[in-house]
Amino acid sequence: MSLHITFSLSSADLEFFRDVLHRAREKSRGIDQRQIIDNARQLLERVNQSNCVDFIRDHMSQLETLTGMLEDEGWGLIEDDRERVLSALTYFSDPEDLIPDTTPGLGFVDDAIMIEIVCQALKHEIQAYREFLVFRDSEGRRREGNAAPMRRSDWLETRRQQLHERMRRRREGQAGADKTKSPFSLF
């Protein structure tokens, strides 16, 4: 048997989480990019080794995608886009965040909520990156390994550029549309 629980975050709730993320950014100013990525990976490892509920484990698995976007040389985020993702990951560098990670049963709930908010804010980046991974994998199989090195090949670079452009257009289009709906912005 399973139980489905949903809840909504109001504009005030979203503002609260945005402020929490801004404070986390300030607190982590001295941490370099490599450490932010490592901290996110270590958090995911702690979640996977814990006996937390599936809801948390499922949400936190999205950290894998976010860190992959930063480490994948083939994806090659430009600095502005890279900063957006790194900025989103700063929250996960502090084990003493809203609910300390060591709190039994609840320690990762705030992290799961924050990752959901972050992934909503980065949905265009995540979608483009996942499409890139599928394309690279399928095109590599189609070419039967004759595309070495794949991350530098013309066909892959062309597709990467197309996806980056589409990602930015969608993000800018959403930003324009959001101005009429809600003043909330994570970045």
**99 vs 111: CA distance, rounded Å:** 8
Higher-pLDDT residue of 140, 33: 33
pLDDT tens digits, residue range 61-83? 999 999 999 999 989 898 999 99
Higher-pLDDT residue of 181, 28: 28
**69 vs 77: CA distance, rounded Å:** 7
Q: What average pLDDT is seen over the chain?
A: 86
- Is residue 108 within 8 A of residue 170, CB to CB? The reply is no
Check residue 116 and give its pLDDT.
93
**16 vs 30: CA distance, rounded Å:** 24
Asked which of 14-18, 43-47, 91-95 is least confident by mean pLDDT, the reply is 91-95
Check residue 145 and give its pLDDT.
57
Query: Above pLDDT 90, what percent of the chain?
Result: 54
The residue count of the chain comes to 187
**93 vs 37: CA distance, rounded Å:** 9
**133 vs 156: CA distance, rounded Å:** 10
**85 vs 70: CA distance, rounded Å:** 8
pLDDT band of residue 184 (cuts 50, 70, 90) is low
CA atoms in the 13 A half-sphere facing the CB of 168: 10
**10 vs 161: CA distance, rounded Å:** 36
**87 vs 21: CA distance, rounded Å:** 8
User: Cα–Cα–Cα angle for 48, 53, 59, nearest 5°?
Assistant: 65
Check residue 159 and give its pLDDT.
86
Tokens of 9: 């975050």
The pLDDT of residue 89 is above 80: yes
Check residue 146 and give its pLDDT.
58
Burial class of residue 71 (count of CB atoms within 10 Å of its CB; 0-12, 13-18, 19+): exposed
**45 vs 42: CA distance, rounded Å:** 5
pLDDT tens digits, residue range 118-163? 999 999 999 999 999 998 888 877 777 554 544 447 778 888 888 9
